[in-house]
Chains A and B, each alone.
Chain A
Amino acid sequence: EVQLVESGGGLVKSGGSLRLSCAASGLTFNIAWMSWVRQAPGKGLEWVGRIKSKGSGGTVDYAAPVKGRFTVSRDDSEDTLFLHMNSLKPDDTAVYYCAKVRDVNNLGVFNYWGQGTLVTVSS
């Protein structure tokens, strides 16, 4: 059974930094493409970024609102995905989900999701 477990959320001041982790199990993590998706309280879903497997180049794509401030990385030896967030703004307040990309023919579809971790940025 695939499990994705996020951690690292919490309260941080505007301009601060935070690192989220997503521990994966039940899948061959090193070949999985992974993403982060966020959801502000009471709002809809927003894609944050996606990292390819190292075998596919390991490159990362970001949504415009976070580009230059957020970094997605992975540690395949630990089956863990990370989201490094810098220069945080109150608008970044959200539940952050990690999600697994479904397959190479559907690179923007997410078939497994974690339970989410809440990040609150105070002004």
Chain B
Amino acid sequence: DIQMTQSPSTLSASVGDRVTISCRASQSISSWLAWYQQKPGKAPKLLIYKASNLESGVPSRFSGSGSGTEFTLTISSLQPDDFATYYCQQYNPYSEFTFGGGTKVEIK
């Protein structure tokens, strides 16, 4: 299985901050990476797919980058609605799909 490691596990930030979340794959996954946002008691919401493609309707302050084993989700200016938990997910076509452990973005 391909293991996905996110860092940090918790992040404290203020409204307006630039926030960066990292995700590392245990082996190369090319650009087969997605990012989701989840709020308590709710289903995950797709933000980014194929490492850097913004899903329709998602604000442009969200961006993704990376390839191979190192990936990043960036929120350019944190908004009150962005306090949530973020998950990366690899979807290499030749393996089981796996998620990272999550990064909780908290109010500082």
Query: Is A45 a contact of B89 with CB atoms below 8 Å?
Result: yes
Q: Which residue of A lies closest to B44 (CB)?
A: A113
- Restricting to A69-123, which residues have a CB under 8 Å from any CB of B? 97, 102, 105-111, 113-116
Contact residues in B for A44 (Cβ distance below 8 Å)? 87, 99-102
Closest Cβ–Cβ distance, residue A112 to chain B (whole Å): 8
Query: Is B49 a contact of A46 with CB atoms below 8 Å?
Result: no
Q: How far is the CA of A45 from the CA of B93 in the complex (A)?
A: 19
Of the four ranges (under 10, 10 to 19, 20 to 34, 35 or more), the interface on chain B belongs to 20 to 34
Q: Which residue of A lies closest to B4 (CB)?
A: A44
Q: How far is the CA of A107 from the CA of B96 in the complex (A)?
A: 12
- The main secondary structure of chain B at its interface with chain A is loop
Contact residues in B for A61 (Cβ distance below 8 Å)? 96
Per-residue 0/1 for A34-69: is the Cβ within 8 Å of any B Cβ (1 yes, 0 no)? 000100000011110010000000000101100000
- The main secondary structure of chain A at its interface with chain B is strand
> Of residues B93, B96, B100, which shows the largest number of chain A Cβ atoms within 10 Å of its Cβ?
B96
Query: Is A108 a contact of B91 with CB atoms below 8 Å?
Result: yes
Query: Is B96 a contact of A47 with CB atoms below 8 Å?
Result: yes
Per-residue 0/1 for B43-79: is the Cβ within 8 Å of any A Cβ (1 yes, 0 no)? 1111001100001000000000000000000000000
Closest Cβ–Cβ distance, residue B67 to chain A (whole Å): 15
Partner of A46, one of B34, B43, B91, B99: B99
A-B residue pairs, 4 tightest by C-beta: A108-B91, A113-B43, A47-B97, A45-B99
**B residues bordering A, Cβ < 8 Å?**
1, 32, 34, 36, 38, 42-46, 49-50, 55, 87, 89-93, 96-102
Q: List 20 A-B contacts (CB under 8 A).
A: A45-B38, A45-B87, A45-B89, A46-B99, A47-B89, A47-B96, A47-B98, A47-B99, A106-B50, A106-B91, A108-B34, A108-B89, A108-B90, A108-B91, A108-B92, A108-B93, A108-B97, A109-B49, A110-B36, A116-B43
